[in-house]
């Protein structure tokens, strides 16, 4: 569902598609905070046309990320079906961190929109958050995640790692080191292992 199902005038549809393609390129090149004016200019439409199709930056991001979110949801479903709670969660966090590295500024945008029902981006990322909740809750029940942690805590920390590594020259390696720390730290301390 890359495009809306509702019929659209031919020129409007062309503008919509062009804006989406241009936005994807612009965000790839300059990050999620790229100038909306710039996108409109590059798509050869007035700023008003961009706003007609995408009432705010979040809506545009949500549209650009539709396939991105769908792919993450699909892979998340597979992990939810995986019988190993600890392994599935670890793989999910790796997957999530990798996906968050797709565009600069992405982790910050998603973090800011999380839980905001008004935000199109928050809505687009709901399946992702649901997957995380399922996997964290299951791992906590299985005793491989500290009891005091919420799923939101864990997701937020992965977003944090994406945030603080996105401008590093050795981005991927640094992110891996930090995710290893996070994953190790999630485990309950040894003396509490039998408490559940």
Partner DNA sequence: ACCTGAACACCGTTCAAGT
CB closer to a second copy, 129 vs 146: 146
CB closer to a second copy, 61 vs 110: 110
Distance CA 42, CA 56 (A): 18
Site for a second copy in 90-149 (CB under 8 A): 111, 146, 148-149
What is the closest distance, in whole angstroms, from the C-beta atom of residue 137 to DNA in the complex? 35
Q: Which does 12 bind (CB under 5 to 8 A by kind): DNA, a second copy, none?
A: DNA
Q: Which does 178 bind (CB under 5 to 8 A by kind): a second copy, DNA, none?
A: a second copy
Distance CA 115, CA 133 (A): 13
Q: Which does 177 bind (CB under 5 to 8 A by kind): a second copy, DNA, none?
A: a second copy
HSE-CB at 20 with a 13 A cutoff on CA atoms is: 17
Taking CB under 7 A as the criterion, the residue among 9, 148, 189, 194 binding DNA is 9
Classify residue 10 as left (phi > 0), alpha (psi -120 to 50) or beta.
alpha
Distance CA 27, CA 24 (A): 5
Query: Does the protein bind a second copy through residue 171 (CB under 8 A)?
Result: no
Q: Around Cβ 154, how many Cβ atoms within 10 Å? A: 25
Distance CA 159, CA 166 (A): 11
Point out which span in 35-43, 97-105, 142-150, 180-188 binds DNA (CB under 7 A).
35-43
Query: Does the protein bind DNA through residue 3 (CB under 7 A)?
Result: no
């Amino acid at each position: 569902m890359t495009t809306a199902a509702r019929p659209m005038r031919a020129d409007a549809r062309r503008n919509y598609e062009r804006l989406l393609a241009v936005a994807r390129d612009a965000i790839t090149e300059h990050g999620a905070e790229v100038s909306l004016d710039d996108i409109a200019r590059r798509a050869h439409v007035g700023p008003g046309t961009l706003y007609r199709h995408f009432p705010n930056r979040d809506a545009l991001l949500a549209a650009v990320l539709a396939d991105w979110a769908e792919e993450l949801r699909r892979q998340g479903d597979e992990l939810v079906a995986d019988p190993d709670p600890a392994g599935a969660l670890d793989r999910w966090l790796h997957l999530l961190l990798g996906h968050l590295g797709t565009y600069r500024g992405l982790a910050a945008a998603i973090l800011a929109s999380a839980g905001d029902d008004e935000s199109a981006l928050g809505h687009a990322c709901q399946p992702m958050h649901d997957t995380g909740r399922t996997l964290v809750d299951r791992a906590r029940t299985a005793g491989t995640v500290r009891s005091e942690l919420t799923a939101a805590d864990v997701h937020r920390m992965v977003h944090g790692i994406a945030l603080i590594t996105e401008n590093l020259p050795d981005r991927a390696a640094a992110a891996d080191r930090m995710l290893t720390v996070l994953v190790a730290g999630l485990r309950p301390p040894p003396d509490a292992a039998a408490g559940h």
